[in-house]
Amino acid sequence: MFIMKINRIENKMTLILTIIVLFTGLCYSTHAQSYSNPFNIVWQKTYGGSQLDDNDYLNNTIAVTLDGGYIFTGETFSNDMDVSGNHGMSDAWVCKIDGAGTIQWQKCIGGSSWDQGQNIIATSDGGYLVGIYTESSDGDIIGYHGKGDVILVKLNASGNIQWKKILGSSKYDDCADIMQNSDGTFIFAGVTEGNDGDVSGNHGKTDSWVVKLDANGNILWQKCYGGKNADGDYHGTEIIPGIGGGYLLATLTNSTDGSITGLHGKPGKKWYSSTTDLGDAWLLKLDDNSNIEWQKSFGGPLWDMFENIIVTNDGNYLSSGLTQGAGGDIPGNNGANGISDWWLAKISPTGNLIWSRNYGGTGAEALHGRVFELPNGDLILPSGTRSNDHDCIGLIGPPDLWTVKTDPLGNILSYNVWGGTGYENMSYAVMNTDGSMVIAAMKDSTSNDFAHDQNSDFWILKIAPNLNDNIAITTTSLSQSVACPGYSPFAMNVAFTKRGTFNAGNIFTAELSDANGSFASPLTVGTINGTNSGTISCNIPAGLPSGNYYSVRIRSSSPQYIGITSGHLLNIQSCAAPTELTSTNISNSGAQLNWNIVPCAIQYKVQYSKSPNASWSNANTVYTTGTSIDLTGLNSSSTYFWRVQTKCASSPNVWSDVSVGKQFITISTITSTKTQSVPLNETSFKNRLTVFPNPASQATTIYFSLSQSEKVSIKIFDIKGELVKTIAERVFGNGEQQIKWNSADVKAGVYLLKMESVNHSEAKKLVVIK
């Protein structure tokens, strides 16, 4: 048992040391004074004893209680000061505090070996359920399976134990998350290495493990999810009620078999062992009986994980976590690959990625964070950081706590940094109904935001929205929603409203996002001096790429503040070639050519020629502002090829690429066509054959045109008149037709291509070369 404890400590220290190595680096300031502070500290306190007390790298370690207070858990090696009743080595520590942070009661749970409180929830009966990792087999621990188990402990409102349930196998098992269903039953999510005891169905190295228990802790069902490699983790797993019923499990995968598809990174045995042995965040939608309804992996080429997931006001999922490299589902990375960014992904109820954003700097953003959605759709992201550049300025001593506020699309509005000169890392956070938050963290500092220090303590902060920060700027309208064509500058008016007081000399600046709506590198497009709401005349530059999600936000200089866009979008069009080209009203001397309208078009250039091999510079050219032209004076029984190009601007001229070439065949005045090998009917018809290329080596295209819908057969005969291939035998519609035939299927030689309908037939010599 002690060996397993040492192994787990080594694993944890390997992770910590790896991250510390990755966290090194200093950079310049890019956003140093761009954002206001969204929160103020209401109170903050440290808790613990003279030894190590910690909730580091744990999930769901604090909960709001029914009496308006809070309860938190973690591990303690102490048995003095705030802590009493330690059973030996480390115990799971549960501490109940009131709404002001004063301790009401505390309790140690464990045995003589290593025990760690990993999750805690308030239950519907006014009590609590604690999820504990244990390596003990004495004290409070009965029924230990070996090499690390999970024990769920039900407490009443006063902290007395009501029941205990140990879960596990003869191998390593750990706790990641717990939740209570509306019927009083419980769901446990964790990770397992075993396939005996309480565990069955393990797929390989480690699996994500979900257990449903009744209100008294009896197992109703359990199931393992994963593949042959390492899947699941004790601090990268969360389970919530699913949209439409059942559950949504957010966990990790390193596998490409079993239930897993779509892994972005390289499969491996350990998710944290190296930058070449990493996996993806993995979502599984489960029904009420543990069956998978859908699953999907998300990520890039390196390590990616979801740590928290919520259901949004608009009925989607929103996940927060970490990512180490750009690519795949990850739009970018503020540091080098292998340096973690905080990651936010919005996902549909069926698992489709809606949008993805990453945040951070050139340092690594710390493990653990959450996401909350406000009633207006803004997002609050409490997390941790080791950066002092890009999206985060104000680092005191890495890592520090970092709380970010964004708009509904994930654009940063403001943030806070809290900490001291030592080590502070967030564990979990909860939000109250009044918008205030309580954050559970670990700290090892003696300065700045700390009231006192005891030695690696629990740090609990209550923060509230900054009431003195009543500044707001909102983009209310854009004078146009479509810009044409994006190749020349154009003017646009942007109206905005403000709330709060702005100082004399203030400048409002309009900033344009990129084509995807991101303000990572905003472009200044206009300014206005003033202190009141108004309209900014903006100049949108030429050469911007086309896109549907350009946004404009307003920044103020005094005070410095960044406003929100309120969802107003600008669609900058490219100069596109026409599509849906058709030819109608075909006669023996004319035809009508048609195409779809192109936004931003001021003119179209139509070129047509009798030979597809002719230079287009010598082709006939017609200009028009409409979407069709009538050609006259054409030769009968002739094939014409044509194309169209869009003109979007003048001075200088801006032309699109040319369209895909099309062809049509004028009606024939020939009354008969005969061959010696295949007898044909004498007729006069519109559906004259054209074959190109001819001779053909690999493939050729057969062109013909019908004046009415009818059944047509197209067949290949050899020079003896024997059937070689039936290419088509079906009903074709009115107008031009084309069929591609793979001539590589036949030997080199001379063939006859015959087209036949009820009243008409025609043959064409076809040469196949190799």
pLDDT in tens, 486-508: 666 788 899 999 878 899 999 99
The parts of the chain modelled with pLDDT lower than 50 are 1-35, 269-277, 445, 447-454, 670-687
For the beta sheet containing 39-47, the strands, ordered from the edge strand earlier in sequence to the opposite edge, are 39-47, 457-465, 437-444, 423-431
* Rounded Cα distance, 232 and 190, in Å: 7
Q: And the tokens for 178?
A: 């717990």
In the numeric block, which tokens belong to residue 377?
Answer: 């759709």
| Structure-block tokens of residue 586 | 């075909």
Residue 334's pLDDT is 65
Residue 204 CA from chain centroid, whole number = 28
Residue 571 identity (one-letter amino acid): N
pLDDT given at position 57: 56
**Nearest C-alpha neighbor of 480 from the set 599, 569, 573, 575:** 569
Q: And the tokens for 514?
A: 């990129």
738: its two tokens: 């084309």
- Measured distance CA(66)–CA(762) in Å, rounded: 87
- Average pLDDT, rounded, for the chain: 81
Cβ-Cβ contacts under 8 Å for 88 (sequence gap 6 or more) = 110, 111, 112, 113, 139
**717 within 8 A of 755, measured Cβ to Cβ:** no
Asked if residues 240 and 211 have their Cβ atoms less than 8 Å apart, the reply is: no
* Residue 671 CB burial class (10 angstroms; 0-12, 13-18, ≥19): exposed
| Structural domains of the chain, with CATH | 472-572 (2.60.40.10), 582-665 (2.60.40.10), 690-768 (2.60.40.3080)
186-192/207-213 β-pairing: antiparallel
Q: Evaluate whether 162 touches 127 at the Cβ level (below 8 Å).
A: yes
Judged by phi (left if over 0) then psi (alpha if -120 to 50, else beta), residue 324 lies in alpha
Torsion of CA 19, 20, 23, 26, to 10 degrees: -170
Predicted confidence at residue 400, as pLDDT, reads 77
Q: Are strands 62-64 and 70-76 parallel, antiparallel or unpaired?
A: antiparallel
| Residue 44 identity (one-letter amino acid) | Q
Exposure string over 147-173, b if 16+ CB within 10 A, otherwise e: bbbbbbbbbebebeeeebbbbbbebbb
SS3 assignment, position 218: coil
Q: How far is CA 43 from CA 46, 191, 457, 460, 464, in A?
A: 11, 36, 16, 8, 10
Which of 556, 551, 527 has its CA nearest to residue 539?
527
Nearest to 372 by CA among 434, 322, 323: 434
Q: How is residue 333 annotated by DSSP? A: -
Residues 287, 290, 293, 297, CA torsion sign: positive
Residue-wise pLDDT for 542-575, tens only, equals: 878 888 788 899 999 888 788 877 667 888 877 8
Residue 189 has a pLDDT of 96
